Structure 1
Amino acid sequence: MQTVTLRSFNSKDTDSVVDLWTISGLVRPWNDPRKDIERKLLVQPELFLVAHDGLRVVGTAMAGYDGHRGWIHYFAIHPEQQGRGLGRRLLQDIEQRLGALGCPKIHLNVRSTNEAAAGFWRAVGYAPSDSLTFARRLITD
């Protein structure tokens, strides 16, 4: 088994990241993942982490902190790596980074149909919120 290292994203990871997001079911027709990566690199790029096994990206966490709350997006672990503790390890790293910025609370969205992801988040101590998420596109990809 390859050793998995956690590090900040770099542009050489792009194809591998998009592949992982596609395999993980995170890519949607209305969100261009490459544009999402470009946008993230303009704002807090140090909060875009990848887990790399020496050959490919096997995990990602794209986080942000707005001074009030932290958010986690594009949290993905390759199916072959799930259940081995990598998700917890990646989450711990991103929580430490957000905590160092003074972030008091983290939010994330999970699609209502993704029971496996909801189970992971419950298992690591996150709870469903009673708030609704509303969205509006400002830029069409």
Structure 2
Amino acid sequence: MGVTIRAADPADREATVALWEAAGLTRPWNDPRADFDLALSTPTSVVLLAEAGRDLHGSVMVGFDGHRGWVYYLATSPDRRGQGIGRQLMLAAEDWLKAHGSPKIQLMVRGDNLAARGFYDALGYEVQDVVTIGKRFAPNP
């Protein structure tokens, strides 16, 4: 069964967050509802959804910071993995970024997530020689 890709709207928030939770993408120190709402509140980001009929089977959050594109929350329903939905979502994310003038795309993957690293490798993504440096403004719960 194929899927249709579309931009999310505010009514999609709870189903999308439930998908992120089922896919194991949420962390206690991040508020996925706030992330979803913020992504929809600006023209430089979008949440794309993969649906079959009325059923949500995948999502990806995409943003352009003016210098490069970023991808977050790529998720496929656990029962639909291996069916090409993640690939379709990444192609849609790339198309959205190109249409918004982004010269490149980047994403972060936890170092021990070998399945995700293999997925992105198969799509032509390469590990880059950079170090991510950050500072948290609020303590982790």
TM-score, reference length from structure 2: 0.90
Provide closer, same or farther for how the CA distance between residues 56 and 23 of structure 1 changes in structure 2, counting only shifts above 3 A: same
Q: Is the 8 A contact 1:24 1:78 kept in 2?
A: yes
Q: What is the CA-CA distance between 1:45 and the residue it aligns to? A: 6.6
**Greater than 6 Å deviation, 4+ residue runs:** none
Alignment correspondent of 1:87: 86
**1:70 matched residue in structure 2:** 69
Q: Deviations over 1:53-93 (max 9, x none)?
A: 23432111111111211000111111222111111111111
2-structure distance, mates of 1:104, 1:139: 32
- Counterpart Cα distance in 2 of 1:55 and 1:96: 24
**Matched residue type, 1:39:** L
Structure 1 gaps of 5+ residues are none
Q: Which residue of 2 aligns with 1:5?
A: 4
Kindly provide the amino acid, as one letter, of the partner of residue 85 in structure 1: G
Residue equivalent to 2:29: 30
RMSD, aligned α-carbons: 1.8
Q: How many residues align?
A: 140
> Under a length normalisation based on structure 1, what TM-score does the superposition of the two structures give?
0.90
Identity of aligned pairs, percent? 43
Q: CA–CA distance in 2 between the matches of 1:119 and 1:79?
A: 17
Mapping of 1:14-53 within 5 angstroms? 14-44=13-43, 47-53=46-52
Aligned pair in 2 of structure 1 residues 56, 45: CA closer, same or farther (>3 Å)? farther
